[in-house]
Amino acid sequence: MEFISEELLTYCEAHTSPEDALLQKISRETHAKVLMPRMLSGHLQGKTLELFAKMLRPRRILEVGTYTGYSGICMARGLAKEGKLITLDKNDELEEMVRGYFEEAGLTDRVQYILGNAMEIIPTLEEQFDLVFIDADKKNYSNYYDMIIDKVNPGGIILADNVLWSGKVIQNSDKKPDKDTQAILDFNQKIQDDPRVENVLFPIRDGIMIARKL
């Protein structure tokens, strides 16, 4: 995911509003205690998500893939008054840690944390969303999008993480991509071809697709 030099990345972080003590704690403990800590959104991406939420002031946010709660906390800080974040994850081993972080953030009453299979949960949600963040299993990105698009209000934003997939999206075309890479390629093309949205792919960290529903 190192698309720019370490020096430039450090400069970007130095000129981005800093992480507060809680986000630093989540980052530190995730790297110390949890497998695959690179899945954490981290400083630049977290602040990007937070600023998007603060600009939109969403009443409802849907997050597919909670992990350790960093991104959810960032987005929830931009919720409108009486707004709610619904966040979905299948890893019950992290539940105690994540609920603890939401409590420390003062967000217990504003976050609905649901454990289970997102493919089964999303169709049951009756909410309409102003902001959606997809950051879960790549093979289902297109499925999540198809399930979610009609639940997004006009003018709402869908964000999807890891859409550059560590640069694999532009690897040698003579070599057949692996299943996850192909899923990301298919998802990116689906967004590009969808007349219901306007979109831009941001080369932030591992790539964020931003689609605004028309």
Fold of 6-213: Rossmann fold (3.40.50)
Residue 26: its pLDDT value, please?
A: 98
Phi, psi of 132 (to 5 degrees): -130, 135
pLDDT, tens digit only, all 214 positions of the chain: 567 888 998 999 999 999 999 999 999 999 999 999 989 999 999 999 999 999 999 999 999 999 999 999 999 999 999 999 999 999 999 999 999 999 999 999 999 999 999 999 999 999 999 999 999 999 999 999 999 999 999 999 999 999 999 989 997 667 888 999 999 999 999 999 999 999 999 998 899 999 999 9
Residue 4: its pLDDT value, please?
A: 80
Residue 171: its pLDDT value, please?
A: 77
Residue-range domain boundaries for the chain: 6-213
Residue 175: its pLDDT value, please?
A: 80
